Each structure stands twice: as structure tokens, then as C-alpha cells.
Structure 1
Amino acid sequence: MQTDTTTGAAITFDAVGKTFPKKGGGNVMALEGISLSVEPGTITGIIGRSGAGKSTLLRMVNGLEKPTSGQVVVAGRDVGAAGAAGLRDIRREVGMIFQHFNLLSSRTVAENVALPLEIAGTPTPEIRARVDDLIARVGLEAFRNRYPSELSGGQKQRVGVARALATRPKVLLSDEATSALDPETTQTVLKLLADINRDLGLTILLITHEMAVVRDIASHVAVIEGGRIVEEGATYDVFTAPRHPTTKSFLSSVTGVTMPNFIARQLVETRPEGPAQEVLRITFVGEKATEPLLARMGTEMGIHVNILAGAVEEIGPRPFGNLLISVDADRADAARAFLGQHEQRTEVLGYVR
């Protein structure tokens, strides 16, 4: 079934819902009212905790799951309405890499990469040329005749990436592809995916529970909680101005702005009587993210700042900083005004004596 996709999105989720039968009768809701457009050539991260519904959402893109309601449209085709032949066509355009690699232990690196082409009935000379090209792209020329048991985790995932690219897909799905890897290997695989996105113009949809992965590679992000998307947008915008508590919780793991326990235990919502400190979160964005604004505020206005936690990060080429500070409550209005004049965002978190 062809569907009109006037938005030009590579993947469209339109009011998608999914329920599963429950033991003892009835249904359990996995997804509800999911609407999301993934634009061609972007890298979009879907982040959520275990059980949030992100894997179910990803599996709908290649028809491994069908929506109970709504539509999933990939490259102009309604996946849920596709018959067997239509699904085969869709799956040729959708590659997938997995958390645990899913390589065949009895096949060499080259033979694992060749498998999707063999299934598609590609002539042998074409298979050989395509496999050579893909193995070179992922940097495994010296390992083409090795078996999976002879490879490191990172090398196995590179084989998985090469195999996912074998049929020249338009969309690449990543199912927690780095969560089984150490941090250094994770960065290597993420760089490979970024290079593929840039060189081939491939649309990448990845699911993860690690905000650092989203920060390092994704241009767009959607946060899923309890089967619903609770926040979405450009990664930089979501990181610098998170709205939903789930997003803020995820961000605390990568921005260095977790509230210190000794402050959290004392924090109250309303200003107490007598001397008090106002606790602020400052988000430094844009060109001024690395300027010494707090030092200037102390010098020019005599407002002294106690820094509680913070870090300067980078999303793509753009820096941003996150700081938790406390200032004398009597001078807090002036401090927030000063920072606002310099285009920085502030949020009052509470007060401590």
C-alpha cells in the first residue's frame, strides 16, 4: 500500500499504538499515541528506560511488530498494511544492527556480511565486490576470514554494521548497538555511524538508554516514557532546555549537574525566613557558553557565587555549560537579571538556609 508522504520524512509514526495480550486475559499497553517524523539524512535518538517501549517502536519500522492503531510509514510505504512481498521490499531498504551482534558463528566475517545479499539472490560477482567494499569501509580487511569467536566486541559490531549496509538501505536502525561495549569502543562505533551518515546520506534511527550516545551522535532526540513520547526536538535544544522530568533525569548523568546530596537534603521550595541562599541552575548556551560571566558578575556587581556542580559540554560543534550555583537570596533577582541580559537561562531550584 502506497501512502502519500507530503512531509518527505524517511520514517513517520502517525498516532501509533501497540497493545499485547496479557496473561489471564485483557491487554497491556506498550505504546500509545506516538507521532514522530524522522527526516531524511538525520540521526535521531529514541531514549528511554527499560520497558518504556522504545524497542517495540523500533521493531515496527521493519515490520517485526505491527501497530494496533495508527500508521508507520517508511519511504512512502505503510509497513503495517504491507503484505509479504511488500515487507521484503521494505526490509531491503531498512538495515538493522543489534546489541548482541547476532552474527552466525559458523560463518567468517566476509560470509556474515554476504548473507543478506545471498538471501536477496544477488549474483556472486556482485556479492564479492560489495562485501569487499563494506569490509574496507568498516576497517576489517585483515579480519575478513576470521570467525566471530576470534573478534573483539567492537570488531563484531563493525561486522554487524557492514552486514546492515549490504543491501544499500535508505534507513539504518540501531538497537542499543553500543550498550554491550566499553566506552572507548563505543566512541569508535559511534564515529563509524556518523561517517556512514555523512558519506552515504543514510537516515539513522537509534534507540538507547544512554544520553551520552545521543549527545555524541544524534541531531534529533525523542524521549519515551510509559509508551508515550514526552519530549522531542533538536538534540541541542532538548539538552539546553529540557522540560520533562524524565529528560532532566537522563541529562543529569552526562552534564555533571546532579544535585549534591547535602544540598538536596536541605532544599525547600519557598524562601525561609532569615538569611538564605537561592539555588539556581544556569544553562550557558551559544557563543557565551565559555565566557567568565560569573567572575564578571562578582567583579561588576559584587555578587558572590557558590558553585555546587557543573560542566561544559559540546553537542556537535556547539558548546553549552550547565551549572548549579547558590547566591544570597537578597541578591538573587539581580543575579538572574544579569545572566538574562547576557542571554543565559536560569531556573530557580529552591532555597537553603
Structure 2
Amino acid sequence: MQRDITSGAAITFDGVGKSYPKTGGGSVTALEGISFEVPAGSITGIIGRSGAGKSTLLRMVNGLEQPTAGTITVAGRDVGRARGAALREIRREVGMIFQHFNLLSSRTVEDNVALPMEIAGIPAAKIRPRVRDLIARVGLEQLAGRYPAELSGGQKQRVGIARALATDPKVLLSDEATSALDPETTRTVLRLLADINRDLGLTILLITHEMAVVRDIASHVAVIEGGRIVEQGLTYDVFTAPQHPTTRSFLAGVTGVTLPRFIADRLQTDRPAGPAREVIRITFLGDNATDPLLARMSATLGLDVNILAGAIEEIGPRPFGNLLVSIDAARAAEARAYLESHQQRTEVLGYVL
């Protein structure tokens, strides 16, 4: 889904570090040297394994954690230095949705959504119309009087999203918001977040350990490992040309296409003497991802191409494909040159007899 991303950063991390004291002395470092920007109006994903530091990073955006080094600014205001009324003002502009919903069991749907406005001191006469609008936005009009125990996981998360929007924030934080949901419910919640981003111009910063979530919704991504950002950029660029081993590992189950076992077991790194076939990974990018380029190459060059495995999918609104093929090794260089002249990437994986 295309989104208009305004210039400037909604959130800026500048040399951010976070350490915790250890019992008996010393400290343990959770984050170190974190520097990147979350563009205003974007959906930016932070992905990392458990313990990589992503939750700590997210909690510093609304002041639930304080950095021990560097600065975090939200709309130009230093969160780490804010105290009292200044911090409360920032928090009203930063909504948050949680993995396990964090709804109050004694409150109905509408009362859970109303809670942030009550805390902010908004008059009751203004709260109820706002609550009705938010519940309608997340599609729960018929469930306004229900209690959390009467709701499904997806419905609870929709209440959490409505509650996060209650104070009309400029930034929405998502803490593993879909990891407790089944795949179909996850897709529904992601579509809702994308709609909110588009309709309200809201900047969304989400953390997850699921690359598929980033692929489906995020315009930008940062990969965190061991408390450091190891790769960042536009989601399409990072997904189609990952540079760091951690990123490639995460992507293996999302955009990676693996060789069939009977080919992988015979694959040789060095080209053998005599007749052999070169095994090539072709990465189809952009508009050409759905073009019959391989068929054109085969007809133009008179090559016999054996397709071993492949897939075409979308990253955001743009198609992306991976294809594993084998070609006569004596003419493989010619084939790769043809493909690369049409702006496609090739990678030699090895050789088979």
C-alpha cells in the first residue's frame, strides 16, 4: 500500500545506549550506539531476536525507560530529559499497543477506550463522542458494552488500538502486537494499522521478531542484534539485498527460496572438469519481477534453462521474485550478463554434474 511520507523525522535516536547495574557491581549493556531516524508518516519496523534490545528501545520513546547515553527526540523534544508535565505531554502524543492487550477486565470496551482521556482530564461530554468514533474505526460498534473476557484475541487487540488512539497521538508504538494472534487475525490487524497510518498520517514504530510482519506493512526497517543496529533502510532495499548475516538469517524463511535436497546434496563449490551445470539464484526486482524475462533469454540465446525452485511475492506494493535455475556452465556467464543487463541480480550458488 503506497503511503505519503512527509519530510523530516518523527523520532530520532542519536547515539543511544542503555545499561543496567548488575548485582555485586558493574553493569550489563542492553543497547549501544543506536542511531537512526523514523520518518514522519512512515511505518518503521524494528526486528530482532528475543533479548536483542528492541523492547528496551521502544520503551525509551515514551519515557518508560531512560537512556544512559545519547538522546531520543520525538517531534524535536528530548524524551530522556523530559520530566513532569513535559513528559506527560509527550506521552499523550505517543500511543502504545501491547502484545498481551493490557485491558482492564472490570471495564467494558468503551470504558477501556475512554480511560486515557479520563486520566488526561478531558471532560466527559467530549470523551463519549470520541470513544464512539474510535470504536467505529476499529470495527467494534456491536461490542462496545462487552468486557474483555467476552472478546477474541483479535477483538482485544482492536480495543487496544482504539485506546492507543484516544489522546490523538502523532506516534503509535506497537510492541509485538500480533505475535499472540493467529495468522488470519494478524493480517486483519495489520490491515487496520496500515489504514490508520494512511488515514491519520500517524507515524508507527513497531517491534517484532517476524519478518513477514515487516514485509507486509513497513516502509522502513531496522535490524537489531546484540544491542546494536546492524542494518537499516527502506524495507524493499533491505529485503531484496540484505547485507548483514543476521538480516539474511531472518529473511531465509520469508524471501528465501531453497534448493531441493537432491540438488543441494550434489552441489559443488568449484566448477568440475567436463560438462556441468551452473546453479544460479536470480533475483527479479521491481516491475520486471513479473515479466517473462527467463523465457525471452532462453529464446534469444538458445539456452536450455532448468528451473529448480522459485517464488514471487510483494514487499509493500512492489513485486519481488527469487528463482533458482541451472544452466550449462559453458554458457552461464552469457546468461548472467543478459539478466544483469535487464537490471536483475544473479548469484552463482555452485555446480552440479
Aligning the two structures, in what range does the TM-score lie when normalised by the shorter sequence?
over 0.9
1:276 CA drift (Å): 3.3
Contact 1:284 1:322 in 2 (8 A): yes
Q: What are the superposed Cα offsets for residues 22-50 of structure 1, whole Å, 9 maximum, x if unpaired?
A: 34432222111111101111100111111
Distance 1:50 1:259 in 2: 29
Q: What are the superposed Cα offsets for residues 202-224 of structure 1, whole Å, 9 maximum, x if unpaired?
A: 00000111111111111111111
Query: Bigger shift: 242-251 or 33-42?
Result: 242-251
Match in the other structure for 1:201? 201
Partner-residue secondary structure (3-state), 2:158: helix
Match in the other structure for 2:157? 157
- Where do 5+ consecutive residues of structure 2 fail to align? 1-6
Distance 1:134 1:224 in 2: 33
> TM-score under structure 2 normalisation?
0.94
Distance 2:216 2:206 in 1: 12
Query: Bigger shift: 285-294 or 100-109?
Result: 285-294
What residue identity is the alignment partner of 1:299? A
> TM-score under structure 1 normalisation?
0.94
Match in the other structure for 1:141? 141
What residue identity is the alignment partner of 1:73? T
> What is the Cα-based RMSD across aligned positions, in Å?
1.6
Contact 1:255 1:310 in 2 (8 A): no
Contact 2:96 2:174 in 1 (8 A): yes
Is it true that 1:175 corresponds to 2:175 in the alignment? yes
CA distance change for structure 1 residues 113 and 23 in 2, over 3 Å: closer, same or farther? Answer: same
Is it true that 1:343 corresponds to 2:317 in the alignment? no
1:259 CA drift (Å): 3.9
Contact 1:97 1:164 in 2 (8 A): yes
User: How many correspondences in the alignment?
Assistant: 347
CA distance change for structure 1 residues 263 and 22 in 2, over 3 Å: closer, same or farther? Answer: farther
Pairing 1:85-234 to 2, within 5 Å after superposition: 85-234=85-234
1:266 CA drift (Å): 4.1
Is it true that 1:40 corresponds to 2:50 in the alignment? no
Partner-residue secondary structure (3-state), 2:9: coil
Distance 1:13 1:351 in 2: 46
What residue identity is the alignment partner of 2:246? T
Match in the other structure for 1:3? none
Contact 2:239 2:255 in 1 (8 A): no
Match in the other structure for 2:60? 60
Contact 2:103 2:148 in 1 (8 A): yes
Query: Bigger shift: 338-347 or 290-299?
Result: 290-299
Is it true that 1:248 corresponds to 2:262 in the alignment? no
1:268 CA drift (Å): 4.2
Distance 1:159 1:308 in 2: 46
Match in the other structure for 1:318? 318
1:256 CA drift (Å): 4.8
Q: What are the superposed Cα offsets for residues 240-293 of structure 1, whole Å, 9 maximum, x if unpaired?
A: 211112222222212251344444444444334444332222111122111122
- Where do 5+ consecutive residues of structure 1 fail to align? 1-6
Query: Bigger shift: 300-309 or 207-216?
Result: 300-309
Q: Percent identity?
A: 78
